[in-house]
């Protein structure tokens, strides 16, 4: 009696398991090949029928951009947020690009995505405002001769600190890596691999894009030694920590530091003497997008002189848009030195690029091991 009853359940389960496994293995095998050709765009496409999903950092673009784009072009824009570049990459690759059309990201990550064939090479003829951009920036957006993203902001990384809480203004990366007794436990560094390695690499005099294993090992040792001095690894809340006084010095991007300066005049930014990077953030279109015309329209709207000027005025980051720069009011560039008199500092930085698949894995491993130490 019981054997008769047990069998149906068991056989059913086994059959299903087998089918499912076969399905899964079949799915594993497939791999998309991607071409480097830009998709042919339809200049007369009716954008009111198109809608795109854009992923960006929070508070990193005009609040009303969706409405502005809708008004100007008719396309619908839905916005979603990511907290770090790795989040963005995970989102893009996790579903093969499904569900997203446009992403904002930092150069090394966009480069890697482009090389992996996930990004659409941009047909710059389609972007009326492309000419507004400085060539120094657009040059960094090229992979194998094609532009894969529109530069959005750029800047440098340095030490953002509370001038009133430190005895001496920091001048070197070592002030962060080996803080004085008064600052022990009150400094933060970034945890995103490329910027996490930056202070150590620059302090040791190495390139921020190095793939040399010995150099990386040295940097790793320096970071392991620095860890006990830290308050925390922080990619997103460091200026709040400065404002509250929890931290006295933080590794920060220049634009982020401006937020702090806006709240508390004692918060200042310095590029350490060993030098730093020149990073760029850009807007890219995913190859998998089915509304590419709308995506282009979105990018074009942002590159418009007025919109892009708004970005610098309100988000306090440097923009690589010559036409827009003329529209930025003097009060802003006077109040925030990194946008005004000290703009040249960032251009002296070493451009942070992708380091390639294998080296990126090593960077990752180092960070994992440093934070676990």
Partner 1 sequence: MTTTKQHGGIGARLRRGVEPAVLLGPGLLFYAVLVAVPVLLVTGYMFATRGRFGGVEWELGLDNFTRVTDSVYLEVFRESLGLALLATLLALLIGYPTAYAIAKLPPRWRTVALVLVVVPFWTNFLIRVYAWIVLLNSQGLLNDLLVGIGVTDDRFTLLYTPGAVVVGLVYSYLPLMILPLYAAIEKVDDDLLEASADLGAGRVRTFLGVQLPLTLPGVVTGSILVFVPSLGNFVVPELLGGGKTVMVGNLIRDQFLKAQDWPFGSVLAMMVVVLLVLLFLGQAWVTRRVEGGARG
Partner 2 sequence: MASGTRRSGLGWLWLPLVLCAAFLYLPILVLVVMSFNGGGSAYSWDGFSLRWYDELLHDDVLLESVVTSLGIAAGATVIATVLGTLLAVGLARHTRSRLLEAAAMAPAILPDLVLAIGLLSFFYAAGIPKSAGTVLLAHAAFGTAFVVAVVRSRLAGSDAALEEASRDLGAGALSTFVLITLPSIAPAVVAGALLVFTLSLDEFVIAYFTAGPTTKTLPITVYSMVRTGVTPEINALATVLVVVSVVVVVVAARAIRPKEKS
How far is Cα 245 from Cα 150, in angstroms, rounded to an integer? Answer: 37
In sequence order, what are the residues at sequence separation of 6 or more whose Cβ sits closer than 8 angstroms to the Cβ of residue 298?
52, 54, 65, 69, 73, 75, 77, 102, 283
CB atoms inside a 10 Å sphere around CB 284: 28
Q: Does 348 bind partner 2 (CB under 8 A)?
A: no
Residues 100-119 that bind partner 2 (CB under 8 A): 100
- Produce one character per residue of 261-279: b if its CB has 16 or more CB atoms within 10 Å, e if not: beebeebbbbbbebbbbbb
CB of 96 to partner 2, least distance (A): 7
Residue 100 interface partner, choices partner 2, partner 1, none, CB cut-off 5-8 Å depending on type: partner 2
Using CB under 8 A as the binding criterion, the count of chain residues that bind partner 2 stands at 28
State the binding partner of 3 from partner 1, partner 2, none, CB within 5 to 8 A by kind.
Answer: none
Q: Looking at 28, 40, 181, 330, which residue binds partner 1 (CB under 8 A)?
A: 28
103/346 with CB nearer partner 2 = 103
Give yes or no for residue 94 binding partner 1 (CB under 8 A).
Answer: yes
Q: Which does 364 bind (CB under 5 to 8 A by kind): partner 2, partner 1, none?
A: partner 1
- 34: contact with partner 1 by CB under 8 A: no
Does 89 bind partner 1 (CB under 8 A)? Our answer is yes
Counting residues that bind partner 1 (by CB under 8 A) gives 46
- By DSSP bridging, strand 249-253 and strand 267-270 are unpaired
Q: Which of 227, 242, 257 is nearest to 345 (CA)?
A: 257
Position among 46, 67, 71, 78 found at the interface with partner 2 (CB under 8 A): 78
Q: Is residue 81 at the binding interface for partner 2, with CB under 8 A as the rule? A: yes
Q: Quote the tokens at residue 265.
A: 């005049």
DSSP 300-333: HHHHSHHHHHHHHHHH--B--BHHHHTTS-HHHH
Q: Are 282 and 104 in contact (CB under 8 A)?
A: yes
> Could you tell me the two tokens for 198?
């930056």
CA dihedral 187, 223, 171, 159 (to 10 degrees): -50
Among 38, 191, 260, 349, binds partner 1 (CB under 8 A): 191
350 binds, among partner 1, partner 2, none (CB under 5 to 8 A by kind): none
Closest contact distance (angstroms) between CB of 331 and partner 1 is: 32
Asked if 321 and 328 touch (Cβ cutoff 8 Å), the reply is no
CA distances from 224 to 178, 220, 227 (A): 11, 6, 5
DSSP 3-state of 54: strand
Of the ranges 170-178, 237-245, 273-281, 324-332, which one interacts with partner 2 (CB under 8 A)? 237-245
Q: Which does 233 bind (CB under 5 to 8 A by kind): partner 2, partner 1, none?
A: partner 1
Query: What letter would DSSP give residue 341?
Result: T
> With binding defined as CB under 8 A, does residue 60 bind partner 2?
no
Q: Does 86 bind partner 1 (CB under 8 A)?
A: yes
* 76 in Cβ contact with 70 (< 8 Å): yes
* 131 near partner 2, rule: CB under 8 A: no
Beta bridge partners of 77: 52
Q: Is 96 in the site for partner 2 (CB under 8 A)?
A: yes
Interface mask toward partner 1 for 219-258; x: CB under 8 A: --------x--xxxxx---------xxx------------
Residue 169 interacting partner from partner 1, partner 2, none (CB closer than 5 to 8 Å by kind): none
The answer to whether the CB of 129 falls within 8 A of the CB of 137 is no
**Residue 253 and residue 154 in contact, taking contact as beta carbons nearer than 8 Å:** no
Regarding 17 and contact with partner 2 (CB under 8 A), the answer is: no
Q: Which residues bind partner 2 (CB under 8 A)?
A: 2, 5-6, 9, 23-24, 27-28, 30, 53, 55, 58, 78, 80-81, 83, 91-92, 94-96, 98-100, 236-237, 240, 244
Q: Which residues bind partner 1 (CB under 8 A)?
A: 1, 4-9, 12-13, 16-17, 20-21, 24, 28, 86-87, 89-90, 92-94, 112-113, 116, 118, 185, 191, 227, 230-234, 244-246, 357, 361, 364-365, 368-369, 371-373
């Amino acid at each position: 009696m019981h054997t008769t009853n047990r069998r149906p359940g068991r056989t059913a389960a086994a059959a299903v398991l087998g089918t499912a496994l076969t399905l899964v293995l079949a799915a594993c095998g497939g791999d998309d090949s991607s071409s480097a050709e830009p998709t042919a765009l339809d200049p007369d496409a009716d954008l009111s029928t198109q809608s795109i999903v854009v992923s960006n950092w929070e508070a990193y673009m005009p609040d009303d951009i969706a409405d502005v784009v809708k008004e100007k072009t008719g396309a619908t824009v839905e916005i979603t947020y990511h907290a770090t570049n790795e989040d963005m990459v995970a989102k893009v690759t996790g579903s093969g690009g499904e569900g997203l059309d446009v992403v904002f990201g930092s150069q090394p990550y966009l480069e890697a995505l482009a090389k992996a064939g996930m990004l659409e090479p941009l047909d710059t003829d389609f972007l009326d405002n492309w000419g507004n951009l400085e060539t120094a920036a657009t040059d960094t957006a090229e992979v194998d001769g094609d532009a894969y993203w529109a530069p959005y902001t750029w800047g440098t990384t340095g030490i953002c600190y509370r001038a009133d809480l430190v005895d001496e203004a920091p001048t070197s990366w070592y002030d962060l890596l080996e803080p004085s007794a008064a600052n022990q436990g009150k400094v933060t560094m970034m945890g995103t691999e490329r910027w996490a390695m930056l202070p150590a690499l620059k302090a040791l005099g190495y390139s921020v894009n190095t793939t040399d294993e010995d150099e990386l090992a040295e940097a790793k040792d320096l970071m392991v030694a620095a860890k006990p001095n830290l308050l925390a690894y922080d990619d997103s809340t460091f200026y709040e920590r400065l404002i509250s006084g929890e931290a006295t010095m933080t590794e920060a991007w220049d634009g982020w530091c401006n937020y702090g300066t806006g709240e508390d005049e004692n918060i200042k930014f310095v590029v350490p003497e060993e030098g730093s990077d020149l990073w760029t953030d850009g807007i890219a279109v995913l190859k998998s997008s089915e509304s590419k015309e709308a995506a282009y329209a979105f990018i074009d709207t942002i590159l418009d002189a007025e919109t892009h000027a708004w970005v610098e005025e309100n988000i306090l980051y440097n923009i690589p848009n010559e036409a827009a720069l003329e529209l930025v009011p003097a009060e802003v560039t006077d109040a925030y030195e990194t946008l005004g008199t000290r703009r040249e500092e960032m251009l002296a930085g070493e451009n942070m690029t992708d380091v390639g698949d294998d080296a990126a894995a090593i960077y990752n491993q180092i960070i994992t091991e440093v934070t676990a130490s």
